[in-house]
Amino acid sequence: MPHVALVGYGRFGRALGTLLEAVGVEHRALDPVADVPEPLRARSVPELLEGAELVVVAVPVPQMRDVLRSLKPHLRPEHLVLDVGSVKVKPVEALTEVLGSGVPWVGTHPLFGPLSLAMAERPMRVVLCPNPLHPEAAPRARRFYEGLGCEVIEQTPEGHDRVMARTHALTFFVAKGMVDSGAAADVPFAPASFKALSRTIETVRADAGHLFNAIQQENPYATEARGSLLTALQDIHRDLDAAPEVARAPEVSGVAAPGLEPGAPAPREPREHIDALDRELVELLARREELARRQRRAQAQGNEPARTETLLAVRRAWARELGVDAQEVEAVFRAVLGSGLR
């Protein structure tokens, strides 16, 4: 793995640094305003780039061009520059304009953030936009990300931003609308269908505004996507108002909402649900193993038996709350802890 220089140590830069540390990748960081840990801190661009092979530019998209210009006099053809912006057309335009064919570069978008990294969610995916000016840059970037445990998806900058406009941008747009309208306020109960959306709402609440603004204002296709969504919602609203007798009528077999005619998929057999849950359990165990590994690195060894008994007592209490046999749950967790997922 190459020595990495991180330009920018905000929320994502710090999270990426944690991931680099977890896999043993040497790195330094430069940020004039963020609190970079002393062992990682570079005080100038030359110091940052000394010995570095890969340069990750983790700054807001509007600052990209100026940051690249400040880096350019210090970059060499041996360096590989990556951006990690959540949009790709504008960063690639800046990389083309400033670095051109002189220094290898690739536009990339890690499809994970500080929260998903902190929770050890998998899989980690990265979109990579191959650079025709530097054909060998994309394979180098792919090797780097795969070395971090990421799945790599190749796409053009335009193709990436079109997909993000109708997924990432619209999801955050809807979530922010719910936050601002008060619809996402805490309630004593909520249907299961709300749970997936509620996490996005919490992400929007926690975000300082930088990510939301970037995916809405820096994506050239986001305005069109928002307009299409608003038009569709207005049409649905109008149709519902125009047909109150249907909307308020008792549920009748064969009556379906326009656009949803195919209906729900046929119910699955219990065995299929069990298989799906078992798959989720394995994925959760993989995440637990990664989090436990991080905890072991960060925490000095102490009274391990006492910690284990405290942990098991809490799990037994959870089991009793859910009406599950507490001793059986304890046995499961003893097996988990004994397997190295401690």
**Residue 323 scores a pLDDT above 70:** yes
**DSSP-based three-state secondary structure for 163:** helix
- The predicted model gives 4-16 an average pLDDT of 94
Above pLDDT 70, what percent of the chain?
A: 87
Look at residue 249 in the predicted model and tell me its pLDDT.
53
Contacts 24+ apart (CB under 8 A), 138-144: 138/106, 140/54, 140/80, 140/104, 140/106, 141/80, 141/82, 141/106, 141/108, 144/1, 144/2, 144/54, 144/80, 144/82
**Residue 202 scores a pLDDT above 80:** no
Q: What is the pLDDT of residues 16-60, one digit of tens each?
A: 999 999 888 999 999 999 999 999 999 999 999 999 999 999 999
Mean pLDDT of the chain: 86
Look at residue 252 in the predicted model and tell me its pLDDT.
47
Look at residue 143 in the predicted model and tell me its pLDDT.
96
Look at residue 76 in the predicted model and tell me its pLDDT.
95
* pLDDT confidence band for 300 (50 / 70 / 90): low
**Residue 255 scores a pLDDT above 50:** no
**Residue 107 scores a pLDDT above 50:** yes
* pLDDT confidence band for 209 (50 / 70 / 90): low
**Residue 259 scores a pLDDT above 90:** no
What does residue 150 show for φ and ψ, rounded to 5 degrees?
-95, 150
Q: Count CB-CB contacts under 10 A for residue 176.
A: 19
Look at residue 211 in the predicted model and tell me its pLDDT.
80
Between 86 and 249, where is the model more confident? 86
Look at residue 268 in the predicted model and tell me its pLDDT.
67
Look at residue 261 in the predicted model and tell me its pLDDT.
55
Cα→Cα distances 13→28, 31, 55, 273, Å: 11, 10, 12, 39
**Residue 294 CA from chain centroid, whole number:** 19
Between 47 and 195, where is the model more confident? 47
Above pLDDT 90, what percent of the chain?
A: 56
**Residue 185 scores a pLDDT above 50:** yes
Residues 87 and 214: beta-carbon distance below 8 Å: yes
Look at residue 253 in the predicted model and tell me its pLDDT.
47
Q: What is the pLDDT of residues 161-178, one digit of tens each?
A: 999 999 999 988 998 888
Look at residue 267 in the predicted model and tell me its pLDDT.
62
- The predicted model gives 100-114 an average pLDDT of 93
Cα angle 162, 152, 71; round to 5: 80
Residue 260 and residue 263: Cα distance in Å, rounded?
6
Residues 318 and 329: beta-carbon distance below 8 Å: yes
**Residue 264 scores a pLDDT above 70:** no
- The predicted model gives 123-147 an average pLDDT of 95
**Residue 192 scores a pLDDT above 80:** no
Q: For residue 13, what are its two tokens?
A: 């830069």
**Residue 94 scores a pLDDT above 90:** yes
**Residue 258 scores a pLDDT above 60:** no
Ranges 100-114, 125-139, 181-195, 205-219: which has the least confidence: 181-195
**Residue 254 scores a pLDDT above 70:** no
